[in-house]
């Protein structure tokens, strides 16, 4: 991961932290998908965060999805299953 | 100088995290060229852009035997960001030697094959033991499962066509890996009495009688409608036309609509084709099609073919001079209008050898996977179509 990517993630993480200092589910999930897994699907972390917050507004079970994504440990096949189980379409 | 940078960074961080700055959720719309290794180039005179580093998949890291055969695509959007899935067959040669396999990609161009491939392979004695091909995969949100439609057959005694089993197969999977074939397969039996003529019917036509019966050529595609039902299309010929052809041809494989109450119960509307073989580019019909809905319109991308050619053995014929074409529908796929600019000029050879098409809406684009001949072998290229734009100018060359 290059320095610019680390810097951008710190910046966005700082902004996505709630008042109590707890990180949001979206922030943790995007750190995993964009940061740890380094998936090309996400052009930047902001895009991931915006998509995640939009999903949350549309009844996705983001907390469960985050747990599922973290457990998947960058197994792309498993991460797709997490979306199918907890994402927007699963909760429509 | 370093101090200046540090001070600036702290200032930026402070400003960025001030209480009036907040990330808002929004529907993301990723430009594919932003996440792929190579850019996409607009095709002049069309709304299509082509990936510069096509083809996008070869399975040479697996020892499955044979080239990539049929390919079915589906993209799952993870918080609005497409992750691509591909189910592909390989065939080491001859009937009954196929495997079905699975791969995923975060950008549509770099693929990870599943470590447990093949997912399934030919099962001796099954109705589809000799071939599974032309697979199309959709996600059924009502049942939370993938649904795969495919053409299967079992030639049994290969010298006797009377014992052939041939039709539309359905398989379902909750995870894309473990597939259950439908207990009623083939869910449409192409050899059933509904789609074949009795001796008396044949005799009657020879002496001037008429019939509305159709003879299926092959399944084309299935979709899940907004109401959660299934709609599909298959290519078929009118028995009447086959009998009336003075040259004894194979007939035109025109597009007919079929509707499914569920994935296992289908009814074909045999009354008339929804897309007739009426232009030079589809003079003999359609070999492959994919249907998507975007806004108020349905889009059918289809491979039209101009002629049949004899394979040289056993009187077999195959479709030649193939091109990609487009039709649109304003009534949810009941009637279709062909695009006046057909065919879409993306075929790599002339005459065209385009073999398959898969399409899916992602954001404001329709992503397309087009099978074509790359250096003498069949492979899949990646494209996208932008419904909302004007056709690309002739002078445009590169997209930023």
For residue B258, pLDDT over 60 is answered with yes
The edge-to-edge listing of strands for the beta sheet with B285-294 is B285-294, B297-310, B317-329, B337-338
Instruction: Give the A window 63-82 contacts with B, CB below 8 Å.
Output: 76-77, 79-81
The domains of chain B, with CATH numbers, are: 4-385 (2.115.10.20)
Could you tell me the pLDDT band of residue B127, with boundaries at 50, 70 and 90? very high
Q: What is the pLDDT of residue B370?
A: 95
Share of chain B above pLDDT 90, in %: 69
Residue B132 has pLDDT above 70, yes or no: yes
**A14 vs B13, B26, B141: nearest CB:** B13
Residue B34's closest chain A neighbor by CA? A43
Query: For residue A85, which residues of chain B lie inside 8 Å, CB to CB?
Result: 144
State the Cα–Cα distance between residues B357 and B141, nearest whole angstrom.
23
Of A15, A40, A55, the CB nearest to B35: A40
In sequence order, the 6+-apart residues with CB closer than 8 A to the CB of A5 are: A35
C-alpha–C-alpha distance, residues B76 and A36, integer Å: 20
Tell me the helices (H) and strands (E) count for chain A, helix number first.
Answer: 5, 0
Mean local confidence (pLDDT), B32-37:
96
Average predicted confidence (pLDDT) for chain B: 89
Q: Which residues pair with B214 in a beta bridge?
A: B238
8 Å CB contact of B79 and A51:
yes
- Mean per-residue pLDDT for B365-388? 93
Q: What is the ipTM of this complex?
A: 0.87
Write the DSSP assignment of B163-203 as a string of letters: G-EEEEEEEEESSSSS-EE-TT-SSEETTSGGGS--HHHHH
N residues, chain A: 92
Q: Which residues on adjacent β-strands are paired with residue B118?
A: none
What's the whole-number mean pLDDT along residues B198-216? 89
A42 and B82 in contact by Cβ < 8 A? no
User: What pLDDT is stored for residue A5 in this prediction?
Assistant: 62
Residues 6+ apart with CB under 8 A from B66: B90, B91, B92, B93, B97
Taking the alpha carbons of B5, B9, B15, B21 in that order, is the dihedral positive or negative? Answer: positive
Instruction: Report whether pLDDT(A4) > 70.
Output: no
* Residue B160, helix vs strand vs coil: coil
Question: Rounded to an integer, what distance in angstroms lies between the CA atom of residue B325 and that of residue B380?
Answer: 17
- B133 Rama sector, left if φ>0, alpha if ψ -120 to 50, beta otherwise: beta
Helix and strand element counts for chain B (H, E):
4, 23
Facing residue for A41 by CB, picked from B12, B24, B106:
B106
A77 pLDDT higher than 90? yes
Phi/psi-derived region of residue B62, left when phi > 0, alpha when psi is between -120 and 50, beta in every other case: beta
Asked if pLDDT for residue B7 goes beyond 80, the answer is: no
Minimal Cβ distance to A47: which of B28, B104, B106: B28
Looking at chain B, how many residues does it have?
Answer: 400
Residue B154 pLDDT greater than 70, yes or no: yes
Contact yes or no for B59/B101 (Cβ under 8 A): yes
Q: How confident is the model at residue B394 (pLDDT cuts 50, 70, 90)?
A: confident
Asked if A45 and A9 count as a contact pair (C-beta separation under 8 A), the reply is: yes
- C-alpha span between A82 and A64 (Å, rounded): 9
| Residue B100: strand pairing partners | B89, B120
* E strands in B174-284: 180-181, 188-189, 214-224, 230-238, 254-262, 265-268
CA B170 from centroid of its chain's CA atoms: 15
Longest C-alpha distance within chain A, in Å?
Answer: 39
Query: Residue B57's pLDDT is what?
Result: 83
**How many alpha carbons fall within 13 Å on the CB side of residue A68?**
18
Give dist(CA A13, CA A23) in Å, integer.
Answer: 8
**Burial of B2 by CB count in 10 Å (0-12 exposed, 13-18 middle, 19+ buried)?**
exposed
The crossing angle, in degrees rounded to 10, of helices A62-72 and A45-57 is 140
Determine the residue among B31, B73, B79, B104 to mutate to test chain A binding: the one whose Cβ has the most chain A Cβ atoms within 10 Å.
Answer: B79
Task: Report B:111-150 residues touching A (Cβ under 8 A).
Answer: 112, 114, 139, 141, 144
**pTM, 2 dp:** 0.89
pLDDT band at B360 (very low <50, low <70, confident <90, very high): very high
CB distance from B14 to chain A under 8 Å? no
Task: State residue B400's pLDDT score.
Answer: 45
State how far residue B26 is from chain A, nearest Cα, in angstroms.
5
Question: Which residue is closest to B145 within chain A, CA to CA?
Answer: A84
Tally A–B CB contacts below 8 A. Answer: 115
**Predicted pLDDT of residue B256:** 98
- Give A47's contacts (C-beta < 8 A, 6+ positions apart): B28, B30, B80, B81
- DSSP characters for B6-26? HHHHHHHHHHHTSTT--PPP-
Average pLDDT of the residues in A32-59: 97
Residue B183 pLDDT > 60, yes or no? yes
**Interface contact flag, A77 B12, Cβ < 8 Å:** no
The answer to whether residue B10 scores a pLDDT higher than 50 is no
Residues B16-37: what's their mean pLDDT?
Answer: 82
Give the separation between CA B261 and CA A8, rounded to whole angstroms: 50
Distance between CA atoms of residues B364 and B386, nearest Å? 7
Q: How far is A43 from chain B (nearest CA, A)?
A: 6
Q: Residue A10: what pLDDT? A: 57
Q: How far is B83 from chain A (nearest CA, A)?
A: 7
Q: Which has the higher per-residue pLDDT, B309 or B83?
A: B83
- Residues in chain A with CB shorter than 8 Å from the CB of B107 are 40-41
Residue A16 confidence (pLDDT) = 53
Q: Report CB contact under 8 Å: B36, A40.
A: yes
Residues 4-63 of A with CB under 8 A from B: 11-12, 14-16, 33, 39-43, 46-57, 60
Tokens representing A77? 């096949």
Residues B25, A57: C-beta atoms closer than 8 Å: yes
Q: Please report residues of B whose CB lies closer than 8 A to that of A66.
A: none
Question: Any idea which of A53-57, A70-74, B335-339, B370-374 has the lowest mean pLDDT?
Answer: B370-374
Do A48 and B79 lie within an 8 Å CB cutoff? yes
Closest chain A C-alpha to B74 CA, distance in angstroms: 11
Residue of A15, A51, A92 lying closest to B80 (CB–CB): A51
Mean predicted confidence (pLDDT) in A64-73? 98
Minimal-distance CA residue of chain B relative to A46: B23
**Given a cut of 50, is residue B234 above it in pLDDT?**
yes
Q: Tell me: pLDDT of B278 over 60.
A: yes
């Amino acid at each position: 991961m290059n320095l610019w990517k680390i810097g951008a993630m710190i910046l966005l993480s700082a902004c996505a932290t709630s008042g109590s200092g707890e990180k949001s589910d979206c922030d943790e999930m995007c750190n995993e998908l964009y940061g740890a897994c380094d998936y090309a699907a996400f052009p930047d972390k902001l895009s991931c965060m915006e998509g995640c917050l939009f999903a949350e507004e549309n009844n996705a079970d983001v907390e469960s999805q985050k747990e599922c994504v973290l457990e998947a440990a960058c197994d792309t096949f498993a991460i797709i299953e997490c979306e199918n189980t907890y994402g927007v379409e699963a909760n429509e | 100088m370093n101090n200046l940078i540090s001070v600036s960074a702290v200032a930026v961080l402070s400003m960025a995290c001030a209480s009036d700055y907040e990330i808002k959720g929004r529907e993301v719309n990723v430009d594919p060229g932003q996440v792929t290794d190579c850019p996409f180039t607009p095709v002049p005179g069309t709304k299509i852009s082509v990936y510069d580093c096509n083809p996008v998949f070869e399975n040479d890291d697996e020892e499955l035997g044979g080239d990539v055969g049929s390919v079915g695509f589906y993209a799952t959007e993870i918080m609005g960001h497409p992750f691509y899935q591909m189910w592909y067959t390989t065939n080491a040669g001859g009937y009954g030697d196929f495997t079905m396999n699975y791969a995923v990609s975060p950008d549509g161009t770099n693929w990870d094959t599943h470590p447990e491939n093949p997912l399934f392979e030919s099962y001796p004695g099954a109705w589809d033991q000799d071939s599974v091909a032309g697979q199309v995969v959709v996600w059924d949100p009502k049942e939370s499962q993938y649904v795969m439609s495919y053409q299967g057959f079992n030639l049994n005694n290969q010298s006797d066509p009377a014992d052939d089993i041939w039709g539309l197969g359905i398989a379902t999977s909750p995870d894309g890996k473990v597939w259950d074939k439908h207990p009623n397969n083939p869910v449409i039996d192409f050899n059933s009495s509904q789609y074949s003529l009795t001796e008396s019917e044949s005799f009657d036509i020879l002496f001037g009688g008429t019939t509305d019966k159709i003879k299926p050529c092959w399944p084309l595609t299935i979709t899940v409608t907004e109401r959660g039902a299934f709609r599909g299309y298959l290519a078929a010929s009118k028995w009447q036309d086959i009998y009336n052809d003075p040259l004894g041809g194979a007939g035109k494989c025109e597009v007919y609509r079929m509707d499914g109450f569920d994935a296992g119960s289908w009814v074909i509307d045999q009354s008339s084709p929804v897309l007739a073989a009426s232009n030079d580019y589809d003079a003999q019909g359609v070999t492959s099609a994919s249907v998507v809905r975007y806004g108020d319109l349905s889009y059918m991308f289809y491979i039209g073919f101009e002629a049949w050619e004899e394979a040289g053995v056993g009187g077999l014929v195959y479709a030649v001079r193939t091109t990609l074409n487009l039709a649109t529908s304003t009534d949810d796929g009941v009637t279709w209008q062909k695009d006046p600019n057909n065919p879409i000029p993306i075929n790599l050879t002339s005459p065209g050898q385009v073999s398959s098409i898969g399409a899916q809406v992602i954001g404001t684009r329709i992503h397309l996977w087009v099978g074509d001949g790359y250096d003498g072998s069949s492979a899949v290229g990646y494209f996208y179509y932008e419904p909302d734009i004007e056709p690309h100018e002739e002078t445009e060359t590169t997209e930023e």
